[in-house]
Structure formats: structure tokens, C-alpha cells
Amino acid sequence: MKNFNFAQKLILVTILLLCASLLFLYWYKHTYTLDVPNDEEVNSTALDGKLLIAAMGSPFKDSIAARVLKHYNASRVAVDVIKVKGLANTDAAHFDAILMLHSWEAGAPTEIVQAFMDKSPESEKKIVMLTTSWNGLEQMENIDAITGASIMVDVSVFTDQIIKRLDRLLKNKK
């Protein structure tokens, strides 16, 4: 490195930092964004509506999903729980309400969430979306989302908001 001038050293360090950042983002996406409990179906013989919960794995989102499941466990609402990546093969028309629990990453929603919203714009009115981000303010344009940071003490507050919206959608189903 003695033969490199300052500009060449700066360029080399910048390239190394960029590569390290890209490697970290790749690792983060594959470690934290697609890990949720196995897909499951609850109350499959229900008559009063069908709810889909699509979640990205995190202690915060898992706690909310568990509380929503517990709320609807004794009801006559069929509940399907899938990983967010399962949205790629999901038809929104089969559900009366959809709960999406996802994280804001690198200044945008995950590609799967964006693609699902793009392919199902007519279903926007039956979607309840919780978007978590570092500052708790990020959300998709033109989507009425509940937003916040993943702070465990706020689980019950977010769950109450979500259940109120889902109850309204399931009561108003056609």
C-alpha cells in the first residue's frame, strides 16, 4: 500500500465499506425478514368470515399475531396465518380481511408486500397493515397503515388498534 496515493487508498476503503454494507443488508434480509412460525389455519369451518394474517418474524410481530389469533380463536372466523413471502401465491379475493405485519427496509416495503399490493389494488379496503420501522413513521403511499417502532411494551396498544379495524372489516363483509 506504500505505492498507493491518498486518492487510491480512499477509493479502496470506500469500495470495501460498500461491499461490507451490501453483505450486511443481504444477511439481515435473509436472517430477519422471512422467519415466522409455520403456516397454519385456525377455525377452518367458520362461517362468519375469513381472515389472512401475513407476518414477518420478529418477537414484536409474533406477539401481535398471537394476540389476534387468540381474539379470533373462539369466534366463527376462519384464520389463515402465512409468512409474508407466501403473499406471492395468495389471492386476496379469498379473504374478507387481511392483516399484514411487515417491516420497512432500506427505505421501502419488502418487494413481496409491494408486489402483493400492486397485483391487488381493489383489495386495499380489506387490508389492515402494520408497518414497523426504525422511527415508527414509514409507510406505503396511499395506504392507511398503522405505523410504529417494534417496542414490546406497545404490543397491546397496536393489537387493540388492529383488532378494532379487523372487527369492522369482518362485520361489514359482503
CA-to-CA distance for 138 and 146, rounded, in angstroms?
Answer: 10
Write out pLDDT tens, residues 73-86. 878 888 999 998 88
Write out pLDDT tens, residues 115-168. 888 888 788 889 899 988 877 666 676 677 888 888 999 999 999 999 999 999
Domain residue spans in the chain?
A: 40-171
Closest to 49 (Cα-Cα) out of 139, 155, 126: 126
Write out pLDDT tens, residues 89-111. 888 888 999 999 988 877 778 88
Pairing of strands 145-148, 78-83: unpaired
Pairing of strands 108-109, 97-105: antiparallel
CA-to-CA distance for 93 and 80, rounded, in angstroms?
Answer: 14
**pLDDT over 70 (residue 113):** yes
**pLDDT over 60 (residue 46):** no
Percent of residues, the chain, with pLDDT higher than 90: 24
Closest to 158 (Cα-Cα) out of 136, 125, 173: 136
Mean pLDDT confidence for 37-53:
62
Residue-level length of the chain: 174
**pLDDT over 50 (residue 35):** no
Q: What is the pLDDT of residue 47?
A: 54
| Exposure string over 64-83, b if 16+ CB within 10 A, otherwise e | bbebbbebbeebebbbbbbb
What is the band of 36 on the pLDDT scale with cuts at 50, 70, 90?
Answer: very low
CATH architecture of 40-171: 3-Layer(aba) Sandwich (3.40)
**pLDDT over 90 (residue 17):** no
